[in-house]
């Protein structure tokens, strides 16, 4: 099972919007509505930001949103803030108690 | 507060054995799957496997099957990840994470919260 494909880096200015893509296959992203997104600041543990493609856990700002089309999921962050600068990982359930992560995207807030 | 607290950093030599831990608190430990994730230096997250402490049902990623052992002691609300013979390539940060609550016929496929991570360094 290969890792999901994410851009290595994206950037945006404060207040702007950015979108991070996550491309898999019909065996993972395309086959299940179980895509989640995790934010990881340097030397910190990952934090759940989006689950089940587009749902936000309590406490996550509504600036974060998720979507999916076919084999590609996306995370959009609107109204960028300096604190959003971090690595972002998508994750998809792939069946039979197996999950696959993306390679990670480094978000830089200019 | 729901928490997963992992054991401290380890420095080991190749060939040595190791068992790291992940202690859950603030919830009924036996009712939630616990997963393990590897992050090699400067790299991304990799799924290793998962255990249900209630009955020790354990599943492994094919990439890690036979390389590590996942276990749990529900009496002390602790999950474990162990190696019998470490290699330099096992050097990484290891995270445990709790799967969402499984109700009858439905299991979430997201993980929250995560432990703080255990850094394992294997070097001669």
Query: pLDDT tens digits, residue range A80-97?
Result: 999 999 999 999 999 989
In sequence order, the β-bridge partners of residue A63 are: none
Nearest to B47 among A57, A100, A103 (CB): A100
Look at the alpha carbons of B82, B88, B89, B93 in this order and tell me if their dihedral is positive or negative: positive
Give A87→chain B minimum CA distance, Å.
9
| Residue ranges, chain B, pLDDT below 70 | none
* Cα–Cα separations (whole angstroms), residue A31 to A48, A96, B44, B45: 21, 13, 23, 21
Q: How many A×B Cβ pairs under 8 Å? A: 63
The pLDDT, as a whole number, for residue B100 is: 87
pLDDT at A1 exceeding the cut of 80: no
Q: Is B115–A45 a contact, with Cβ atoms under 8 angstroms apart?
A: yes
Rg (CA), chain A: 13
pLDDT at A79 exceeding the cut of 80: yes
In b/e form, how buried is each residue of B49-71, taking b as 16+ CB within 10 angstroms? Answer: bbbbbeeeebebbeebeebbebe
Q: Is B109–A48 a contact, with Cβ atoms under 8 angstroms apart?
A: no
The pLDDT, as a whole number, for residue B101 is: 86
Q: Average pLDDT in the A18-30 region? A: 97
The pLDDT, as a whole number, for residue B116 is: 98
The pLDDT, as a whole number, for residue B106 is: 81
What whole-number distance in Å separates Cα of residue A42 and Cα of residue B92? Answer: 15
Residue B112 tokens read as 């929250």
Q: Is A101–B46 a contact, with Cβ atoms under 8 angstroms apart?
A: yes
The pLDDT, as a whole number, for residue A7 is: 98
What whole-number distance in Å separates Cα of residue A20 and Cα of residue A8? Answer: 10
Question: Is the CB of A12 inside 8 Å of chain B's CB atoms?
Answer: no
Number of H helices, E strands in chain A: 0, 9
The pLDDT, as a whole number, for residue B104 is: 79
> Which comes out higher in pLDDT, residue B80 or A1?
B80
Give the pLDDT band of residue A11 (cuts 50, 70, 90). very high
Q: Average pLDDT in the A72-85 region? A: 98
Nearest to B47 among A32, A57, A99 (CB): A99
Question: Is the CB of A69 inside 8 Å of chain B's CB atoms?
Answer: no
Q: Is A99–B35 a contact, with Cβ atoms under 8 angstroms apart?
A: yes
């Amino acid at each position: 099972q290969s890792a999901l494909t994410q851009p290595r880096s994206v950037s945006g200015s404060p207040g702007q919007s950015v979108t991070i893509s996550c491309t898999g296959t019909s065996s993972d992203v395309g086959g299940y509505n179980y895509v989640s997104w995790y934010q990881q600041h340097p030397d910190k543990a990952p934090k759940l930001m989006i689950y089940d493609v587009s749902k936000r856990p309590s406490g996550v700002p509504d600036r974060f949103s998720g979507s999916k089309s076919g084999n590609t999921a996306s995370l959009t962050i609107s109204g960028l803030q300096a604190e959003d600068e971090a690595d972002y990982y998508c994750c998809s359930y792939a069946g039979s108690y197996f999950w696959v992560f993306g390679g990670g995207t480094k978000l830089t807030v200019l | 507060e729901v928490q997963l607290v992992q054991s401290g950093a380890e420095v080991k030599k190749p060939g040595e054995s190791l068992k790291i831990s992940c202690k859950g608190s603030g919830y009924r430990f036996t009712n939630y799957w616990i997963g393990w994730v590897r992050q090699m230096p400067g790299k991304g997250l990799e799924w290793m496997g998962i255990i249900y402490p209630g009955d020790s049902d354990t599943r492994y990623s094919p990439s890690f099957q036979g390389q590590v052992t996942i276990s749990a002691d529900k009496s002390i609300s602790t999950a474990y990840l162990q190696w019998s013979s470490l290699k330099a390539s096992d050097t990484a940060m290891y995270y445990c994470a709790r799967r969402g609550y499984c109700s009858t016929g439905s299991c979430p496929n997201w993980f929250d919260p995560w432990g703080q991570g255990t850094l394992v360094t294997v070097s001669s």
